[in-house]
Chain A
Amino acid sequence: MRLPWRRKKAAGPDPLAGLARKVRTSPRDALRQAALAVKGRRLRSSLTIAGVALGIATAIGTLGITASAAGAVSDRFDAVKATEVTARFPEGIKAPAGDAADNVRGLNGVDSAGLSCKGREVEAGRNAYGRNVKLSSSAAQAEAMQTYRAELTMGRWFDAGHGERGDAVVMLDTAAAQALGIKDLDAGPMVFIGGTPFLVVGVFSAPPSETRFTRAIVFPYERCLGSGFSSAEVIVRTDPGAAKQVAKEVALALYPQGPQRLTVTTPPDLETFQKGVQSETRALFLGLAAISLLIAAIGISNTTYVAVLERKPEIGLRRATGATRLGITVQFLCESGILGLAGGLIGTILGVDATAAAALSKDWLVVLDPLLLAGGPVLGLVVGTLAGIYPALAAARMHPVDALRTA
C-alpha cells in the first residue's frame, strides 16, 4: 500500500527561504488536539471507551479468575492425597488374607499400608434390648485406619491377636461413640449388635477423606473374609514422589493371581489438574475476551471513521492551514489511541474488581499477575491505535478541496 504521506527527499536550495515557515505538527500538539476532540465529543467517546473497557475487563477478569481458581485448587489440593494409592478388589473376589498387606509393605517407596473392607449398615446399642442407633460398619487392619490418617482418641488400636483369635472387639469413630453415649473406655463399655456383645477397645477420629470410617463401627480385618463384607481394598501411603511407581506394582504384590482385575487409584496429578483448569476455562473465556475486543476494535474503527466523515471540514481546514497528511494521520491515530487507552484503564479496573469479587465470594486468594495490570491499558492502547489506522489513513487521503466543499 502506498502511504499517503510518502514523499521523495527535497533537494536543492529552498525557494521559500525567508518567506514560509516549515510546516510541522509537534506530537504534543497532535496529542493535545486529540485529547480535546475526545473530551469535546463526550457521548461518542464514552460509548467507544465502554466497548473497549468491556473487552479488556473480560480478558483481565478471565485471566484473574482462572489464576485465582487455579491457586485455590492447588491450595485446597490435599498434599496428603498426593501420596495415597489404593487398590480395590471387584465384587466377587474374596478378600485377601491379612498378610497380603505385608507384600505391599515390602514394595519400594511404601511408607505404610493396610487392608479394609466395607460392611452393611448395622443397628447397635449399649445393651441387648435398649435403643439402637444406625451405624455404618467396616472391617480394617489398624494400619489401614492409620494410613488414612485416623487418629486414636481413646483406648488402643486393634492388635494382630484380635483378628487371629476372632475376638469380639470393635473400634468406633468419635461420631459413633457419641451416638452410643460412650464417653470413656474406663469401664470397658460393650456394644450390642443383634444381641451379640462386642468390647470397644478404641475410639478414633475419622479421617476426613474416607467415608468408610465416618460414624462407623469397625471390626478387625479378618471379618472381611466372612460374609456380609465387600469392597476390600488396600490403602498405601507412599514416600513423596513414589506414588506412580507404587501404583504400578501394588496390584501384583497384593493379588498375583489376577492383578489386572484390581482397580488402582493414583493421586490426581496436581500439575495436569491445574493445566486442565487453565487450558479449558481460560481458552473459553479468552476466546470471549478476544471476541469482545474485536467488537470493541470494530467499534473504535467505526466511530473514528464516522468522525472522520463528520469532521471533513475540520480536516480540510487543517490541511489548508498547514497540516500535512502525516499530521492528520497522527492526530486521528492519537484520538483512537486515547480512546483505547482509556478503555484499557477502565477495563483493567473493572476486571480487577470482578476478579476480586469472584475470588472473595469463594474465599479464594486473589491471584493477579502485575503484568496483567500493566497489560490491560497497553492492550487497550494497541487495540485503539490499530483500529484507528484505517480511518486515519482515510482522513489523510482526503483532498482539502473535497473536504472543504459544503454539502
Chain B
Amino acid sequence: MIELREVGRTFAGPPEVTALRDATFGVDAGEIVAIVGPSGSGKSTLLNVLGLLDTPTTGTYHLAGVDTGSLKERQRTALRASTLGFVFQAAHVIAHLDCLGNVTVPLEHLGIPRRERAAMAEKALLAVGLGHRLRARPNTLSGGERQRVAIARAIVHEPKVLLCDEPTGNLDSENTASVLELLESLVSGDRAVVIVTHESDVADRAHRTVKVVDGVAAALAA
C-alpha cells in the first residue's frame, strides 16, 4: 500500500532544516502502524509526506502502486482525495455545518453526486457511533464526539489509508480508548491505518511501530 525508499525532506532555510532523512519502510493493507518518537523528531513531517500534503526532497514514495514523484499537482490532489483519509489532533470540524454537512465535505470535492452523499455520510457517522447526532452542530458535541465526526469524515469516501496525527492528543483516557477501538475496527483487508503518537499505550496496540529519532525513521519489529 505504502512504499517509502530513502525518503528525505529538507526545508529550505534559512536555517536549512532536514526534518526527515532516509526513511525506508512499507505499510500493507490490514495493518495498523504507529509512528513514534520524541517531539520535533519529524513524525508530522513524515505523515505529511505520506499524506501527499508535502513533497519529499529525496527518495521515492509509492502510494497504491503509483510513483507519487511523477504526479502533477492536480493528480496528487486527486490521488490524495481518493485514497487517503486524515484525522488530526484537532477535529477541525467546520462550525457552521452540522455533522452530516461536515462529513459530506470530502465527497463534494470528489464530485460525488449529491443524491449519494447524504447516504454515504450517514453510513460513516453510523460507523463511528453518531447515528443519532446527524443534525447536531459541532459546538453541541463533546471533544470525543467531535473527533468521531472527524474520523467519519476521514472514512466517508472509503480511503485505502487512514493517516492520523495524534488523533487522541486532545482526549482523556476513556475517549482515547474508544477512539483507538474505533480506529482498530476500521482496518480491513484493503485498508491500512497509520497513527502518529507519543503515547505508548497507543503504540502498543499497533501491529508495527516506526520510530523516528532526529529525522531518522526506523521500522521496529512487531
Residues of A within 8 A of B (CB): 7-8, 10, 14-16, 19-26, 29, 33, 36-37, 39-41, 311, 313-314, 316-324, 327, 400-401, 404, 406
Which of B66, B74, B90, B106 is within 8 Å of A15, CB to CB? B66
Nearest first, the 10 closest Cβ-Cβ pairs linking A and B are A40-B96, A322-B81, A322-B109, A20-B82, A321-B106, A313-B92, A20-B78, A29-B108, A20-B79, A323-B109
B110 touches A21 (CB 8 A): yes
With an 8 Å Cβ cutoff, the count of chain B residues facing the other chain is: 39
| B80 close to A322 (CB less than 8 A) | yes
Say if the beta carbon of B75 comes within 8 Å of chain A: yes
B89 adjacent to A19 (CB under 8 Å): no
A41–B97 Cα distance when bound, in Å, is 10
A-B contact count (CB 8 A): 109
Contacts of A33 in B (CB 8 A): 108
A400 & B96 in contact (Cβ 8 Å cutoff): no
The answer for the CA separation of A318 and B78 in the assembled complex, in Å, is 12
**With a CB–CB cut-off of 8 A, which chain A residues contact B70?**
15
With A313-B90, A406-B90: A19-B83 Cβ-Cβ less than 8 Å:
yes
A314 touches B92 (CB 8 A): yes
A40 and B81 form a contact (CB under 8 A) = no
Whole-angstrom distance between the Cβ of A397 and the nearest chain B Cβ: 13
Given contacts A15-B75, A317-B92, contact A21 B97 (CB under 8 A): no
- Contact, CB under 8 Å: B92 / A23: no
- Which one of A36, A39, A311, A318 lies within 8 Å of B109 (CB-CB)? A318
CA–CA, A15 and B79, complex, Å: 10
- Expressed in whole angstroms, the Cα–Cα distance for A10 and B75 within the complex equals 9
**What residues on B are CB-neighbors of A19 within 8 Å?**
64-66, 79, 82-83
With A23-B110, A29-B108, A37-B96 in contact, is A16–B53 under 8 Å at CB?
no
B73 within 8 A of A: yes
CA distance A306 to B4 in the complex (A): 39
- The answer on a CB contact under 8 Å between B109 and A327 is yes
B74 touches A23 (CB 8 A): yes
Question: Which residues of A sit under 8 angstroms from B106, Cβ to Cβ?
Answer: 321-322
B95 proximal to A (CB < 8 A): yes
Residues of chain A with a CB closer than 8 A to B95's CB: 40
Contact A21 B51 (CB under 8 A): no
Chain A CB within 10 Å, residue with most, of B66, B90, B96, B112 = B96
Contact A40 B108 (CB under 8 A): no
A residues near B96, Cβ cutoff 8 Å? 36-37, 39-41
